[in-house]
Amino acid sequence: MSGKPIVLFVCVHNAGRSQMAAGFARELSGGSVEVRSGGSEPGEQINAAAVEVMREKGIDISEAVPQMLLTEDVRDADAVITMGCGDACPIFPGKRYEDWELSDPAGKDVAFVRSVRDDIERRVRELLRSLTE
């Protein structure tokens, strides 16, 4: 155990929202938190529009690969942030859970995905502040 808080970002396909959140958390935390992400039904590949809008912020998520959410990931995490995965996420007592109501960027244009990205960035900044205070 590294002693760093572990944050897990979860969405259904692990191809857009959770990958953008993980990218922001890695970049903005400067390594002060361990970042993981997963999906209940991982997609084939990361959302190309998500990659494009994150690149505008200087964050490269192009190498990210959608991952299956594992029960161990939830058990190990200090904070579990869900984004529309409903009941697919296992619940463990004593964990911090937040459900972020975010529009699904799948199949949407870049302008729409950019607005989702900006909402995610704001929420990640707030989360990191609360974890590292």
What's the pLDDT tens digit per position in 2-40? 589 999 999 989 999 999 999 999 999 999 999 999 998
C-alpha pair distances (Å), 88 with each of 68, 69, 84: 11, 9, 9
End-to-end, the C-alpha distance of the chain in Å comes to 20
Q: Is the pTM of the predicted complex or chain greater than 0.85? A: yes
> Is the pLDDT reported for residue 1 higher than 50?
no
**Residues 84, 10 contacting (CB under 8 angstroms):** no
For 109-113, what is the mean pLDDT? 95
Give CA–CA dist 66/47, Å, rounded: 10
Residue 122 pLDDT: 98
**Catalytic residue status for 5:** no
Reported as a single tens digit per residue, the pLDDT across 55-97 is 999 999 999 999 999 889 989 999 999 997 666 666 777 888 8
Which listed residue (85, 127, 128, 131) is catalytic?
Answer: 85
**Catalytic residue status for 11:** yes
Sign of CA dihedral 19, 21, 24, 29: negative
**Catalytic residue status for 85:** yes
Name the burial class of residue 37, with classes exposed (0-12), middle (13-18) and buried (19+) by CB atoms within 10 angstroms of its CB: buried
Q: Between 133 and 8, whose confidence is greater? A: 8
What is the strand order of the sheet 79-83 is part of?
34-39, 6-11, 79-83, 96-99
3-state secondary structure 44-101: CCCCHHHHHHHHCCCCCCCCCCCCECCHHHHHHCCEEEEECCHHHCCCCCCCEEEECC
Which listed residue (15, 53, 74, 89) is catalytic?
Answer: 89
Which listed residue (7, 8, 11, 128) is catalytic?
Answer: 11
Residue 37 pLDDT: 95
